[in-house]
Amino acid sequence: MSGITTIHTSCIDEFIMFFFRSIPSLMQLDGNTLKVLLWCWKYSSISPCNKSNVFYNNVIFRNALCEASNDTLTHSIINKAICTCNKLGIIVKKTKGYYELNPDYFYKGLLTDRAKLLLQVQYEPTENKNFDNEKKEN
């Protein structure tokens, strides 16, 4: 018996949360840090050098996050979340205020292209063998 599981997402936010749930270390982050990481990914742009996802943690970026969160996030919460993600290696600080989403966790390329991915998991159960009945003859 084998099985295929297909999960469809209807929007980018849903895709991001599904993707985050597939990485247990990301789901251990507190709610604000997870929110900030979600927005870092959404607001990231593609670096022309290596096609990785980068973002600038500047006043414009923090203001956009505060506004998008209906002011539940503050500049200090955003900075703390980015610092936490940097310490955990989820994002990588390139220079002051310039960060890259770690490609080991996040792919390179456009977020909209990632939402088109189809993950298929196929499995085949192994037969339950009884090794006690097998005897070696000398």
Q: Which domains does the chain have, with CATH numbers?
A: 29-120 (1.10.10)
What is the model's pLDDT at position 44?
83
To the nearest 10 degrees (0 to 180), the angle between helices 59-68 and 75-87 is 110
Angle at 86 between CA 69 and CA 116, to 5 degrees: 60
What is the model's pLDDT at position 132?
45
What is the model's pLDDT at position 59?
95
Q: How confident is the prediction along the chain (138 residues), in pLDDT tens digits per residue?
A: 455 555 666 666 777 777 777 777 788 889 899 999 988 888 887 766 666 788 999 999 999 999 988 989 999 999 999 999 999 999 999 999 999 988 877 766 665 565 555 544 455 555 554 444 444 444
Encode burial over 113-128: b for 16+ CB neighbours within 10 A, e otherwise.
Answer: ebbeeeeeeeeeeeee
What is the model's pLDDT at position 135?
42
What is the model's pLDDT at position 95?
93
pTM: 0.67
